[in-house]
Amino acid sequence: MIIGRLLGWLVLILALVAEGADLYGFWDTGSYRAHALGEIWNWIDTASLQLAEAGVSRHISSWLWNSVILNVLQWPAALMLAALALLLLWVFRKRERRRRR
């Protein structure tokens, strides 16, 4: 449980860093442009992105990559990371334990 909450907070920090980079670009150029999730993944490790595309297309199905995953990778990174972080924090939240009588 604590690992899931810790991971959720870490992903939330990454979302804030991604939004900070977008806002810095706005401050620097005067126009706002949100970086896409796939764009950031491509910056971090191009080979793993290409490997994921080949693996999903070959072993699962090509329509899943072209219709679903490719669209998700074009969404803003800060938004997607924040949604993932909130989901992790909600799933691994502290719950009250019920005592048996």
Q: What is the rounded distance in angstroms from the CA atom of residue 44 to the CA atom of residue 77?
A: 13
Find tokens 């990559």 and name the residue: 65
The answer on 62 and 46 residing in a single domain is: yes
Residue 19 lies in a domain: yes
Which pLDDT score, from 0 to 100, does residue 11 have?
92
pLDDT reported for residue 58: 85
Task: Let me know the angle formed at the C-alpha of 7 by 56 and 38, rounded to the nearest 5 degrees.
Answer: 35
For residues 8 and 92, is the Cβ–Cβ distance under 8 A? yes
What are 21-61's pLDDT values in tens digits?
889 888 888 888 888 988 888 988 899 988 988 888 888 88
How high is the mean pLDDT of the chain?
A: 87
Are residue 30 and residue 42 in the same domain, yes or no? no
Residues 21 and 40 in one domain: no
CB 76 within 8 Å of CB 32: no
d(CA 98, CA 75): 41
